[in-house]
Structure formats: structure tokens, C-alpha cells
Structure 1
Amino acid sequence: MARSRFDTKQARFDDRVAVVTGAGRGLGREYALLLAGLGAKVVVNDSGGALTGDGDDAGPAQQVVDTIVAAGGEAIASTESVATAVGGQAIVGAATQRYGRIDILIHNAGNVRPAPLSEMAVEDFDAVLDVHLRGAFHVVRVAFPSMCQAGYGRIVLTSSIGGLYGNHAVANYAAAKAGVVGLSNVVALEGAEHGVRCNVIVPAAVTRMAEGLDTSAYPPMGADLVAPVVGWLAHEDCSVTGEVLTAIAGRVARVAVVESAGVYQSEWTVDQVAARIEEIRDINNPLVFPVVPDGHSAHIGHSFGMARGLHE
């Protein structure tokens, strides 16, 4: 493939097969073009629907494929929806049937149906979880066994600032995006012994999801500032798993769950919790329990150690 504006000397994806969901526009399009420009064979998945998830249009996915092919790359379009198990099977199946395997899975597809919590319809809550969270499960569930069997895989799931910190009128979106982090942690744990790494990207860019916002005072905030981070997470040289990276306006950072050292007493009353709450909440010396190899047990072990007098 001819060198694209994304191409670099440092990283290549030659002979790798990638599936990118929600790749017809915005961030997903940038991811697909980046991977293809660096040698990957790409399944460009996008149902082409509206921001709400309604409707379908084969045009966006095919346009990205046409761009890749015109530049000398390899790509095929997939227009199935991630919102169903059948769709997830078809999306991953497009890669395995055309190219014989799947090496990279990037779940980027999304929709939005905002409403204040007290006014949010159950249908709108479910519709957003169907795409963001259940959609992640639907494609991961199909790709994961194949990757484990091959002894190699890179999975990148998408959370958001709203999923980490919440926002007004997006209870459905925030809940789904927070759930993605938990799903990624399990994929990372279960994939570790099989060479499958799974991480989360928390991206922010001015795409069509920013429609209606006043972005005039924003710094440069294009999808091109996010795509290289996703590219590294999807690359064979990616050295982390079970982590969360955020990319916004040129800033790239790690996001982590931290705990305070904690306060131990052999028994508690409500008044004692109140009296020591500032000690309990003090995170000047934070603890981080990495997901892999076993953050779950490390958390329990630290707590049990305090109960046994092993930690101050």
C-alpha cells in the first residue's frame, strides 16, 4: 500500500487482520485508515445508522473501504449491528471467512440517547447498552476463543470520560462505558496466558457526537490525536494489558483505580467511621492493584494483611 499520512517507520501491521466497529465515521474511521496505512487487512464495520442508532446505511463503511483500496490496501465492509449476538458473529466472521483469522479487535461503535435520569425511557437505556456494552461482549465473545487458540490477540475496547466521571443526562451512556472497563479487565485476565491483551481507550475528539456543542474555544482535538494511541494498544509491541489510557487534545495519560491505604479497626460503629473518615479517604499515598496478574487477590490480600497486623 502506498504510504499514507498515517504511515511511520516505527510500527507496521503487515499480515495482521483487524476488525474495527463503528469505523464508517469519526474515530473508528481514523483507526481503520491508520491500521490499513500500516499494512493491516481491515474489516470496516459500521451499520451507518443515526447517532441514536436508528436506521442503517451501507455508505459510510463502503466509503472507508474504497479509500483504503484506492490507496493500495486491503479492506472489506461489514454493516451488521454489534447490538445483537448474531451481528457480533457476522462481524467477526467476516474477518475469519475472508482472511482466515482475526488478530485485532477494536470496538468503537456507539450511539447516544440523552435524557435526564428522571425522564430516561427504559428503551433508551437498553438501546445504548446494547451497542456500547453488550456490543462489546458480542464481538469479544466471538473473537476471543479464536485469538486464544492462535496464541495471539489485541483487543481495544472504548470507554469515555462520562463512563469514568459521569455527566448530566447520560445515565445510559455512562453505565455502559463504565461496564466496558469491567469487561476489559476480565478479558485481560483470561487472555493473559494465551497471548491475548485487552485494554481500554478513553478518547475525546470533535466528531459528530459533538454536534450541538460549542467547540469554538477547544484546542486542536481531532481523531488523529487519538488514533496512534489505539494503534499502539493494537500493536504486537503493546506491553500492557488490563489498563486504561485516555487521549484528549494531544494529552495521553493512564487512568487507574486507586485506593487509600485504609484504616483498620477490629470493630466499627457509625460514629467511629465518621470520626476517621478523613483518614479513610486520604489518598496521598495511593495503592494501585494492577488487574493482571491478579488485582482481585491483591486487594483482598492487602485487606486481610491489615486485619492480621501485617500492614500499618
Structure 2
Amino acid sequence: MLNGKSVLITGGTGSFGKKFTETIFKRYPDVKRVVIYSRGEVLQFEMKQMYPQDKYPQIRFFIGDIRDKDRLKRACEGIDVIIHTAAIKQVDTAEYNPDECIKTNVNGAQNLIDAALECGVKNVVALSTDKACAPINLYGATKLVSDKLFIAANNIKGVKDIRFSAVRYGNVMGSRGSVIPFFMDRREDAFLPITHSEMTRFNISLQDGVNMVMYAIENALGGEIFIPKIPSYKIMDVAEAIAPGVETKIVGIRPGEKLHEEMITVTDALNTIELDKYYAILPSISYAYTNDDYMKHHKAKLVPTGFTYNSGSNSDWETVESLRTKIIDCIDTNFTI
């Protein structure tokens, strides 16, 4: 699928970008070019040590900001596939710096769309978040706008051979700033801070997130928001899995935080189809395809009326033991209780 292709990853030095790059070289050794596009020279330097030029001649590192349309267009020249991961992602950071969040998450998304259309890119997959579904914080709201921009881009491409799609999933296990590494760092302390004892979240491994993007690259018709069928976890089970016996202290929900996350609302369900491992929210306006076209292409069916996908009402749950096993497999092979 990616052999002989040139791939650009925005925010490529992040957790997802590094895992995606690793997966590309494992599965597609004949990839033509992999361009890592990000702002941080230190993170790029660290990633360069993982991919020395003599062993990975296909990789390139571009310092650049998705706010800079000219630089972004330069990076998109000759690119076949774009994976868009760059974003301001911390909820509290976005609340305190709303204008900066909008510049990156919304304006940056439009810059990428324009650059992809101008440079003859064939396929664009944008990473979304569960917080974009019925958002209550600025980060989620900007990602919802970003999703809308990418999906609507399919209607302005004209005769260009390009597809825009998105993937939306929950908390990535072990990603920077997420709860599991935070708890692991604090498990020797006197207590673990818990925002709310009833809080739940969706859970996905970094590799499963990468696999989902690979699926979208290969199977998207254009305009879908793909959502994985994944388990939820209870925050108290995460605490017990990582630090059994350690006291927990309720510190309260942070501004802009939900008790449960949602990825498909009842209204979304009207345009949602069910695949084997995924759901896909279809565009409300599409000039190229009908819902029947999407269902035929994906060999899928519409979800029932009234369907919703919520971490608190999910039918699939992580247990304390399954969480421990995944921590060992996905994050820290030296993790012991």
C-alpha cells in the first residue's frame, strides 16, 4: 500500500508519529519517502538517532509549523499520503490559550487542506479525538471544526484525485500526558489524585491507532470519520492496576473535562454505518457519494436508530488484570506489582 509512495506526517515527532513511522518501515520497506514535519528541533534530533540516514535513506526531517502555509506547501511537494497529527492537545492549555489553539487546530487544518489540494496529494487522513464529539471544551471544539473542514474538503476538490478522511478514537494508552504514565510516575507517592471516582474513558493502544489509520488510507472512499470498537476503562480500575493499595484522593473534575467520553451521538447515528472492527460517520453533505454508495463500498449497514457510543455505557470493559497486561505489552515491559 505504501511501497513506492511518499508520506508526510505532521506532528511526526509525537507518540503517534513515531509509532506510525516505525510501522511504515516494518510493513513497507520500499516506501519512497517519509517526511517528519514538526516544530521541535530537539524532538527531531532525538528521532534522528532512531533512524540514522545510512540505514533509513528515505526519511526526511522538516522543521515547520502547520500555521506556516508556505512552509507546509514546500513539505507537501511530491507527497502521496498525508497523516495529520499536529495539534494543541492539552485541554487546560487550550482553555488558557484559546487563540493559539485555534491558530493551530483550525487554521492549521485549513492550511494543510489547501497545500494538499495544490500539491497533488492523493490521500489525507486526519487524527481526531473523542473530545470532538459533543464538545464541552475548546480543544474538542477546535477538533470538531477541524473534522468538518477535512470532511468538507471532499466537496471542493473538483476533478482532483484526492480523498480526505478522519479517524476518531479515545485515550491512547501510554501517550504523553495521559493518565497511565502519570499514575506510574506517582505510584510511589502517598496517594494518587483521582478527578472523579465514576470517570470512564475509551482505551486504545498506540499500535491499534496506527492500524486504524492504515485501514483508512487503504479503504476510505472520502468523507468518513472512522471510529474503532474499543473497550472502556474505569479510572479507579486504572489506579488499582498500577498502584494497588495506594490511597486515592478525589481532587475534582478539571475545567472542560467530561465524566464519560462519547464518540457517536444519537444524531451522528443517523449517518453512521457499522463495519467489522469500526464504525464510520458519513458526511451530512456529499456531492460525490450517497449513503448507499458508502454502505456498498464498505460492505456495511446503518446502525440502529437511537444508537450512541459512550465510554460509560459501553458493553466492552477493561479489567484490572487486562489493564496490567496491556501496560506490560504496550508501555513498560518492566512493570511489576
Counterpart residue identity of residue 224, structure 2: E
* 1:182 counterpart = 2:148: yes
Unmatched 5+ stretches in structure 2 = 188-199, 233-262, 272-280, 293-337
2:127 pairs with one of 153, 158, 169: 158
The structure with more helix, counted as a fraction of residues: 1
1:222 pairs with one of 196, 199, 205: 205
Which range moves more in the overlay, 133-142 or 207-216? 207-216
**Identical columns (%):** 12
The structure with more strand, counted as a fraction of residues: 2
How many residues align structurally?
230
Deviation per CA, 1:234-277: give whole Å up to 9, x if none. Answer: 3xx424210001247579xx9683449xxxxxxxxxxxxxxxxx
* 1:75 counterpart = 2:69: no
> Is the contact made by 1:36 and 1:42 (CA closer than 8 Å) also made in structure 2?
no
Q: Distance in 2 between matches of 1:156 and 1:138?
A: 14
Q: Distance in 1 between matches of 2:282 and 2:87?
A: 30
1:231 pairs with one of 203, 214, 222: 214
SS in 2 for 1:208: coil
Alignment of structure 1 residues 286-305 onto 2, 5 Å: 291-293=285-287
Q: Distance in 2 between matches of 1:88 and 1:34?
A: 28
Deviation per CA, 1:139-198: give whole Å up to 9, x if none. Answer: 221121222xxxx6100112210011335xxx2201111001210122122237422111
1:189/1:163 CA distance change after superposition, 3 Å: same
Deviation per CA, 1:3-45: give whole Å up to 9, x if none. Answer: xxxxxxxxx3122111101111211222233234413311101
> Is the contact made by 2:117 and 2:160 (CA closer than 8 Å) also made in structure 1?
no
TM-score, normalisation: structure 2: 0.58
* Deviation (angstroms), 1:213: 5.5
SS in 1 for 2:165: strand
> Is the contact made by 1:62 and 1:77 (CA closer than 8 Å) also made in structure 2?
no
When Rg is computed on C-alpha atoms for both structures, the one with the higher figure is: 1
Alignment of structure 1 residues 216-295 onto 2, 5 Å: 221-234=204-217, 237-247=218-228, 249=230, 257-259=268-270, 291-293=285-287
For the aligned residue pairs, the C-alpha RMSD in angstroms reads: 3.7
SS in 2 for 1:137: helix
Hey, what does 1:59 align to over in structure 2? 42
1:36/1:59 CA distance change after superposition, 3 Å: farther
Deviation per CA, 1:79-122: give whole Å up to 9, x if none. Answer: 2111x2xx2321341352xxxx11111110122453499xx44x
1:192/1:22 CA distance change after superposition, 3 Å: same
1:27 pairs with one of 2, 5, 16: 16
1:67/1:223 CA distance change after superposition, 3 Å: same
Q: Distance in 2 between matches of 1:16 and 1:249?
A: 30
1:232/1:72 CA distance change after superposition, 3 Å: same
1:16/1:193 CA distance change after superposition, 3 Å: same
Q: Distance in 2 between matches of 1:250 and 1:44?
A: 31
Unmatched 5+ stretches in structure 1 = 1-11, 49-57, 261-286, 299-312
> Is the contact made by 2:10 and 2:37 (CA closer than 8 Å) also made in structure 1?
yes
Q: Distance in 2 between matches of 1:79 and 1:289?
A: 34
TM-score, normalisation: structure 1: 0.62
